[in-house]
Amino acid sequence: MNALELKDKRILVTGGAGFLGRQVIDQLCKAGATENKITVPRSHSCDLRVLQNCQRAVDQQDIVIHLAAHVGGIGLNREKPAELFYDNLMMGTQLIHASYQAKVEKFVCVGTICAYPKFTPVPFKEDDLWDGYPEETNAPYGIAKKALLVQLEAYRQQYDFNGVYLLPVNLYGPEDNFDPKSSHVIPALIRKVYEAQIKGEKKLPVWGDGSPTREFLYSEDAGRGIVMGTQFYNDPEPVNLGTGYEISIRDLINLICELMEFDGEIVWETDKPNGQPRRCLDTERAKKAFGFNAEVDFKQGLKNTIEWWRKNAA
């Protein structure tokens, strides 16, 4: 495989100051990128929902890696569906257009597995992406991100613009978002257990009935996968990034309780939504296309995440 040489390339990483972004920048540097040629636009001074800001951000850049997203768990999806649709669509679609106009050499768009249909055969294959409507609570966010895949395919067809689309599964790891209003399932559960322990509570309420399954990718692995896709992948088809390991929410919370030595009772709040019934990716395309395999064992990744939260909870 011919690698895209990263040394001396000017690389824009939107969302580069975030949880995944820091890992991507770390992996870019390990793969030979020149650190002082990596630019990270910040939302307070560069709102990517404004076209002129996108145009300024991509000017003179060789590679754009678009990670920035307005994203959260089921709670945020239910509370702010309009914002999630608008913000993610406008950021992505204007950034792609501005990158094409600025003659950017390569655009790497990081999508979401929320784009998959609610009842996708497991494991999810990239070719199943259009076989139905996403799970309702995820749909505004998922469809906004999926529209960017269509845009990249159209720009490739009409303008020969090299844009690729990667679909990481649910991420977790140190430095994740632990804010209960917007966090995803792993940090939310770790925080819940931690706070129950601090307060001496013996009952732990958890949304849903524990039956849905999820797959999780450690943030460092995700960063490596995105950089490998940047270097080695140039095709229009979307590519899943995952581990192929599926775990139920029930088993997940039991494992977190075991690792955190919490021996209270789990109370399932069955009046709350479960979200998508199953999520697990087929990861063959990433292996074949650019040799990506996840390396961090799930239990070890959870331990690292718990340890980081305990040190930084204050």
User: Count H helices, E strands: the chain?
Assistant: 10, 12
184 is in an annotated binding site: yes
Q: Is 293 annotated as a binding residue?
A: no
Residue 301 near residue 172 (C-beta atoms within 8 A): yes
The amino acid at 90: M
214 is in an annotated binding site: yes
**Is 275 annotated as ligand-binding?**
no
The answer to the question of whether 16 is labelled as a binding residue is yes
Based on the residue annotation, tell me whether 141 is a catalytic residue of this protein: yes
Q: Determine if residue 145 is labeled as part of a ligand binding site.
A: yes
Please tell me whether 18 is known to bind a ligand. Answer: yes
Residues 6+ apart with CB under 8 A from 158: none
Annotated binding residue at 207? yes
**Annotated catalytic residue, options 100, 141, 172, 233:** 141
Residue 56, marked binder: no
Q: Is 241 among the annotated ligand-binding positions?
A: no
Task: Confirm or deny that 291 is annotated as ligand binding.
Answer: no
Residue 54 tokens, joined: 């996108």
Helix 185-199 and helix 249-260: axis angle, to 10°? 40
134 is in an annotated binding site: no
- Sequence length of the chain is 314
Residue 72 annotated as binding? Answer: no
Angle, helices 249-260 vs 298-312, to 10°: value is 60
| Dihedral angle over CA of 265, 266, 270, 274, nearest 10 | 180
Contacts 24+ apart (CB under 8 A), 114-120: 114/138, 114/139, 114/141, 114/142, 114/145, 115/142, 115/143, 115/145, 115/146, 115/149, 115/167, 116/142, 116/276, 116/279, 118/276, 118/277, 119/277
Q: Which residues pair with 108 in a beta bridge?
A: 65, 164
Which run of H or E residues covers position 257? Answer: helix 249-260
Q: Are 14 and 64 in contact (CB under 8 A)?
A: yes
Tell whether residue 193 is among the known ligand binding residues.
Answer: no
Q: Known binding site: residues?
A: 15-21, 145, 168-171, 184, 192, 207, 214
Q: Known binding site for NADP(+): residues?
A: 15-21, 145, 168-171, 184
Active-site residues, by number, are 141
